[in-house]
Structure 1
Amino acid sequence: MDNQPTRRNFLKKSSAAAAAGTVLSSTIARSAHAQGSDEIKFALIGCGGRGTGATMNIFNSGGKVKLVAVHDAFEAKASGVVNSLKSREKGKYADMVDVPAENIFSGLDGYKKLLQVDADLVIIATPPGFKPQQFEAAVNAGKHIFMEKPVASDATGVRRVLAAVEESKKKNLMVGIGLQRRHENQYKETIQRIQDGAIGDVLCTRVYWNGGGIWYRNRTEEQTEMGFQCNNWYHFNWLSGDQICEQHIHNLDVGCWLKGEYPVECNGMGGRELRMNGDATKSQIFDHTFCEYTFSDGTKMYSQGRHLGGKSFKHVAEYAHGSKGTANVSGSSIDSSAGNWRFEGQRQRGHQQEQNDLIAALSRGDIYNEGEYGAMSTFTAILGREACYSGRILKWDDLLKNGTELAPGIDDYTLDTVPPASPGADGKYPIPVPGQYDPFAKA
């Protein structure tokens, strides 16, 4: 049973790791950067907004870095990002971009060729459904990795990531995960104070990602169905994991971080009322979720995730309620019977700070690994989604071991493959129906 990826075994391992220290000195034969040079060569898998953003953050990290290869499912996007990065801010980054034509890769399997390029670090910023196999391949190739959140879209993918994380530790590889709040001083100090007892025993937390909506890209005549879905990946649960995974994961991660553990079960509700004006021929994900997570001591984390425009309540934040007071975690303030506190230090921008920390550590030859909490926070979101989709109370260990695989055979997908969420004869995509959806269905 110790080999099963259960919540209990993760907590045992993470406690041991914490006792040993979070940063390990690198002992691998090759240095953290190119041998004989202080330059860090990196490659980009996924040339969308977040991949481009992470690349810019690395350029601005203060380290000596160079982008040497890129990959995207779509050739135009892969070649386009190279030209775009060279011309940004009047050519400020042109000397940091050295991507010859032969190092521009496309297609769903192009990342395999990219991993053969001489690079020290790989950014993985693709749709979550594709990340487990890409992360596994990067670990097998001996690359240091920064991977955006969430790291998977289903239980199968999370198990795969956790197994690859164990391999990355054996190889002493850097693994950074894009849960950037963990790199911000204001969050770190606020949560440390809560864990030190500033509000007494934490009785419950409230976390929110209520926003206005997301982008949509119209279908073009030359697109295959797979191409259309990959270009609109957020709208398909096998690719994005739904809004609770793609965005709300940040707030769920904060709630688990301050609690110091992950939930044992979840009860949820949600639906799809106004997404794309109710048009199921364009999207299949929910537009609202509400979850009640339960921790081992019986305390709760209440979660709201929503996309709704107009004058609706829009809020992205986290709060904690304790026996001696309350904390506005995202607002970096505490009100308690022992006295009030407000963070007065310099606030950090997480997306930049996480790359500052990563590049500085690699330049020193130090290694840290955020893979486990990246996978476990991803699964917290998946647990909530499946509870909302099914209308059931779901246990963490049951779902992690036996949860539905959303995209069987995904390693062999191409842009001509029929996607797992294909439209019916009426042109509508399958929508999960609470009370009918089976979170343990087998392919």
Structure 2
Amino acid sequence: MAANGFTPWPEDTALAYRRAGYWQGRPLPELLHDWAAAHGPRTALVHGATRLTYFQLDRRVNRMAAGLRLRGIEPGKRVVVQLPNTPEFVVALFALMRAGAVPVLAPTAHREPEIAHLVAETEAVGYIGPAVYRGHDHTATAARIAAGSTSLRRIFTLAAPGEQAGGFSVLPGGCLAFPLHTLDEAPVPDRRLDASDVAFFQLSGGTTAPPRLIGRTHDDYAYQLRAAAEPLGLGPEDVCLAALPAESALALGGPGILGTLAVGGTVVLLDDPAPDAAFDAIARERVTVTSVLPDLAARWLDALDGAAAGLGSLRVMQIGGARLDPGLAARVGPGFGCRIQQVFGRAEGPLTATRPDDPLDVVLTTQGRPVSPADEIRIDAPAGETGELLARGPYTLRGYYRSPEHNARAFTADGYHRTGTLARLTADGNLVVEGRVADRNDRT
């Protein structure tokens, strides 16, 4: 069901997107069934020594969905997911959706104030996170939040490698805590989902504190995956390295983890993007595509020191998330022996990207063009000048969750999102991102 506080697209607009084939009425968990049927024995996920085929991934999702239902996660309820780049992140995301619940995706770096805000804002009944991660006790944090919450009553924790986790425990206030690996029950029939409903929530970027919630529907996100994969020429032979946090916009669906699964490729999940770990994963798994931020691209370049000889499988490095210096952009291709794709993407939408046949100067100096012909972008400034980027389209939000006052400022009367991004358009229609508008969209 659509979450209360979610702003849908206008009915006539939604109908136009469906008639054009952008929205196909297929919920994401249903699509996972299709992917498993088409690519069953192929490797879907790799994490260290762990490898899951599409068959195994779909089966684990089924069984975890059943376990979540049996432990009180009811359809329509929200569950905060705060997991690192592990197979459990992908399994939990799909299992919650398959159970009819709505995941709320949070970075592992968030601490008690941010997670407590998400729980209160969404009235979350559950939390899924690591027991302890990089020295922080997430279980204790979740327990403290539950003690002061009127909704949070189930905590599911991912044990550290090699750690033996026992059965459930009762926390103060009657909240129940379960090891995530115990959610393994006999599959039950899928709950019928509506593709126009909210599939999951992502968080806004920028400097907004606390972050705002962005409801992504099954329809709009499934279309984004298809649209983002096309400029990359992404296919079943591709191996995607997910080195950025799995819940981030670029790593999850730009086309990222879910876009790679949608075409039958392999996703290598890497929780440590340090150069040594990344280069080892690229060489070992024959990675063909990865996504990085500019500062991470610079770190990897500085650490090459002859390592590029083992990275010959890499064909495309996506770079986004911040303005890329043209000098740094010019070093990436020769350094890694691959081409780069500049992208601009936010959880709110839109998504732009350079194309394989673009001239070199376009690739080095712009963030390309929208990935969908239905994307509408304009600059709030005279032609050729810098101004705020405004956007609307089949995967660009129409309103932040439960934020009517902010939405009145952040959206035009005709539905364009005021992105808070300063940009300009070149004569040939490519986007050049210049910075942020700091006076409106970053205010609480």
Instruction: Report the TM-score, using the length of structure 1 for normalisation.
Output: 0.30
Per chain length, whose mean CA-contact separation is higher, i.e. which structure has more relative contact order (CA < 8 Å, sep 6+)? Answer: 1
Return the structure number with greater helix share. Answer: 1
Instruction: Report the TM-score, using the length of structure 2 for normalisation.
Output: 0.30
